[in-house]
Amino acid sequence: MENEKLSVSNILNSPFSFHVSEFSNITPSLISEYVDAYTSDLPPVLQELERETFVKCVNPRMLSGKLQGQFLNLICRMLKPETILEIGTFTGYSALSMAYGMPENSHLYTIEANPEQEVIIRKYIEKSGFSEQITLIIADAKIEISKFENDVFELIFLDADKINYPLYYELLMPKLKKGGVLIADNALWSGAVVSKTSTDKEVVALRTFNDLVQKDSRTQNVLLPFRDGLMCVMKLS
């Protein structure tokens, strides 16, 4: 049978198509609301932390939020990691999201460079009951990472200064166990990484980071177009 020529007309007349005008009122904000409505809620203490972050903190949009928090929570429930490392705590939302999903015998180390965040982080670690399972380190992660032994972490979440993502990757991979997973936030940077000509420092650094991951023969990776892009990397060897 001769192949039917593909055209807009043929697509629109297909029994599997829909009329575009019927859905023209669907906006990204409506889709976000729908996704949020069909995502399980995290504990009330995290909702309280989110509210306080938006009231008291500069750049509150840096907070992971319900969707990403629930994703990290589910990753912990699936992987059941005994050791977790987070680079970039902000106010502690992502750390607590993971803590609520990790086994009781697990321990999470989270490193935050900004000492101004320490009070709110410790407040909610204590309020959530994870004081014995979460160690907060206020320091420069580029220095602190070297203090951990190799092959110790089963899950690493990277959400720190984007300019240093390539360096963080080189520092963190030896610390990740075989079979462990590294998740890096902001790998799409609002889509700016698709620009090959951008001279923006963050864009250049994130493109370099994504290239490092893609070319690393030790790993298997997937870049999820989730929020601002989550690069998920499993260490194979």
* pLDDT score of 50: 97
Structure pTM?
Answer: 0.90
User: What is the band of 19 on the pLDDT scale with cuts at 50, 70, 90?
Assistant: low
Q: What are phi and psi of 181, to 5 degrees?
A: -125, 135
Residue 41: exposure state from Cβ atoms within 10 A (0-12, 13-18, ≥19): exposed
Cα 111 → chain centroid: 15
Q: What is the mean pLDDT of the chain?
A: 92
Q: Which of 125, 155, 119, 123 lies closest to 138, judged by CA?
A: 119
User: What is the band of 72 on the pLDDT scale with cuts at 50, 70, 90?
Assistant: very high
Report CA torsion sign: 152, 130, 105, 221: negative
SS3 206: helix
**DSSP character for 194?**
G
Question: Which tokens sit at 207?
Answer: 């493109």
Containing H/E element for 231?
strand 230-235
Q: Fold for domain 35-235?
A: Rossmann fold (3.40.50)
User: What is the band of 24 on the pLDDT scale with cuts at 50, 70, 90?
Assistant: confident
**DSSP character for 197?**
S
